[in-house]
Structures are given as C-alpha cells and as structure tokens.
Amino acid sequence: MNTGPSAKVIAVYGSVVDVQFPLGVGLPVVSTMLRVCASQGEDIGLQVVEHRGDNVCRCVALGFTYGVGRNMRVEVMEQGIVAPKDLNVLYGRVLNAMAIPIDHKEALDTKDSVSIKDFSSRLNTEVNLDAGQKPEIIHTGIKMIDLLFPLIKGSKSGLLGGAACGKTILILEIIHNIISYQSGTCIFAGVGERIREGNELYHEFLRADLLKRSILVFGQMNESPGMRFEAAHTAVALAEMVLSKGRDALFFMDNVFRFVQAGSEISTLLGRIPSEGGYQSTLTSEISQLHERIRSEKSASITAIEAIYVPADDLTDPAVVAIFAHMDSLIVLSRSLVQRGLYPAIDPLQSSASSLSPAIVGRRHFEVAQEVLKHFRRYEELERIASIIGKEELSPEEQIIFDRAKKLQNFLSQPFFTAEMYTGRPGAFVEIADTISGCERIIRGDLDRMDEASLYCIGKINE
C-alpha cells in the first residue's frame, strides 16, 4: 500500500500517535508498521494498534515522540521491519526493536533484505519429532540444572526469582557454557532491563568471545513501551529466521515480566480497562502469541531460556502464573539460598521439569536425581526441628541424612565463568557423568567423614 503524502499525524499523546488517512483509502491492517517522516533527525516507527472513526489509525510509537507534530507526513512501510537475508552479517551486532544497529558500528545493508513480520507463517508447522525419536539433551555444565532440570532441545525453561536472586548471572552462565562448548546460534532479547546490565552483558560477550555466534536485541528500561514490547517479537522473529535455514537457535530473554509490563503500559495509554489483577486484559493472549512462535521443526529447533522476575517474591502474581503455562521447566531461585551463599540459588523443591524422566535421561540419572530430591525434602523437615532443639537431638539416622543433604547442597553449588571477577574462583564446566558420580558417592556415605565446607563451590568431586 502506498498512501502518498496525504497520510498525516493529527494527534500525539505521549507514546500514542493518531494518523489520519484520506477518505476512500483503505486503512492498513492492525500491526502494520508506519513511518513518520521527520524533517530533522531520524524517522520514527509507528505500529498500528486500533482503527478509529474518520479514517484514523491509532498507533504506538517505537521510539520517542519528541518533535513529532501535527500534519507531519506518514508512510506505510511496505515490508515492515526488515533484516538482511544473510544472517551472518548480524552476528556480533546489537539491534533495537526495529532491527536497526545501536552499537555505533557500520549500518546494515538492507538492499537484499527480508521482512521479519509474521515470519512464522512461512515456516513448517508440522510435528517436530518423529515417532519414537528421543529428545536431545543440551548439557549446560551446571550441576544443579543438568542433574535435576535437564534442558531439552526445543523446550522452554523459565528462571524465576525476585530482585537480586541471580537470574541474570545464571542466564549468562548458561549462554557462556552452551555457546562455548556446543553448537547453535544465540539470540538474546534484553527486554526492559537497565542500560548498565545491557552494557555489562555486551562486554561479557566480548570478553568470552561469544559475539561471533550471537545476535543481541535490546529494548531497554529507558525506552518507550512500544520499543520494549516489540523487542521481544523482533528477537523471536530472528530466531525463526535462523530456524528456517535449518540451524538450531538458542533464544534467551531477560526479562519476560518486563515484556508483560510494557504491554500493560501500552494498554493503559490506549485507555483500555485492566483486569482484576491490575494487568492488561490481553495478558494471556500476548504471552501466548510470543511463546507459540518458539518451536521446533524436523531439522532444527528453537530452545528458549527466559528469566522471569517475580514481583515481591510472589509466585502467585497473575503475570507470573500466565507465563507458567508455556514453560516445560520452572527453575525457582530462592532468596534464602542467596543469603547462605549457595550459587546457583535454585530451590529444587519449588522447581519442576517435565524432562526429568527415565525415558529421556536414563534410569541411573533419574534414580540419583530422585534420591537427591528425597534428601532435600527430608533436610527441609529436619532443619526446622534442628533449629529448635538442636541437631544433636535428632536420631543417628536422621543426623546422617541431615549431613549428607548439606553436603549435596554444597556440592551442587558451583563457581561460574561469568562471575570469576567477583568470586576470584575459576569457573567450572562439569560433565553430567561427574555430577551423577559425585552425588552417588555422597548418598552412599563415601564422604561422610569429609567436612561439608570442602565440597562448597567446587567442580568435580575429586577437587
């Protein structure tokens, strides 16, 4: 559609812009991208969200609306957001929600480009696994995750936790270990987080030499809600482009809750009535539309690992619960474990994983994992008793379980590569066989005479 010069801005309400088209001209469909042709500075992208009377489209700005005034000319972007067909030129680049570089390097050549809007409609949506095909496990080298919450290629995993529980550092470690030791293209979506965190993440990728296989998309906390909301969709679209070329994509998002918040801000700006929980009435559909695009094909897959901020440590928050339905694994981070210095601070009793099955991980792995969980459950019960009457009042059998559970907790803590500058300890990548063997030895009682402190933050058991 080419509207000519007569489509114009008629009103600006913060991040909401009304654009009027001439009578007799069909309105662009919802989600179409428009461009305000600014007389000075860069053009500003708009996304159509509503059709109103008098041939008016109500749009959300993907950027700041400073300087946008009445009667400014508006054009329809025929292809919407575009990216180069050759994805190799995007590796190592930092993009915004419009797929425009923001890393102060050379501009992208968009002559040979493709629209990323609704890219999913061109992908094969058949069943991703053949009958009888065994799911493929992705090893992270992190003992707690590989043992109790194994990542499956093509799955979605959520890292849940309140502020300062270690979500970002854990997701960075997973990215580092998977990209460094295995194959795949990393698509990272930084949604609604601080500029400082994005800057640190970029320099961490640079330091660890991960940029050559990564594409970073940011919609930071200081940007408009439209940019934050659309950054997640742009990142997923790039992951779909990788998938269409028959390559595995690793999709990381920090943070899904900020994506929900951006949607809530847009809903408020548009004057929509919120739901009883205070969130937008479209909460469930927005989360579904994003996560249904994260899937697999027969030749390749998108594996998603997403950080989920839990407001006030409340796991019953409506936004957090809405995200639960789309996750195959839920890894909950505990503030009490952070206070005890156990990293990663994963609470295994609140977490869950559909992949922990003998058919997927094998009988030995499954049985050791169940025995570890059994020790943790019993430890939680005994800890309450011991805190009141003292550990010495427990029976000899209970004292043994209590001590072994503490040794398991310490052994499943681990030094991270991405935290070396803070801890002074070199990072460790631990193979799953070493993790299982170490847990077996602790459960059997081989290390009963060993001090539990000697197992804290080590790699293999023989360290």
Q: How many residues are there in the chain?
A: 463
Q: Residue 428: phi, psi to the nearest 5?
A: -135, 130
Catalytic residue list contains 143: no
Out of 167, 258, 295, 407, the active site residue is: 167
- Using DSSP bridges, classify how beta strands 44-52 and 56-62 pair: parallel, antiparallel or unpaired: antiparallel
Q: Rounded to an integer, what distance in angstroms lies between the CA atom of residue 356 and that of residue 436?
A: 14
CA dist 277 → 226, 229, 273, 343 (Å): 22, 20, 11, 33
Q: Rounded to an integer, what distance in angstroms lies between the CA atom of residue 67 and that of residue 347?
A: 50
Q: Are the beta carbons of 194 and 220 closer than 8 angstroms?
A: yes
Out of 193, 223, 230, 240, the active site residue is: 193
Q: Are the beta carbons of 338 and 164 closer than 8 angstroms?
A: yes
Q: Rounded to an integer, what distance in angstroms lies between the CA atom of residue 237 and that of residue 311?
A: 28
Between helix 256-269 and helix 225-244 the angle, nearest 10°, is 130
Q: Following CA atoms 435, 327, 160, 117 in sequence, which dihedral angle do they give, to the nearest 10 degrees?
A: 120
Out of 52, 105, 122, 194, the active site residue is: 194
Catalytic residue list contains 167: yes
Helix (H, G, I), strand (E, B) or coil at 266: helix
Q: How far apart are the first and last CA of the chain?
A: 66
Q: Rounded to an integer, what distance in angstroms lies between the CA atom of residue 220 and that of residue 193?
A: 5
Catalytic residues: 167, 193-194
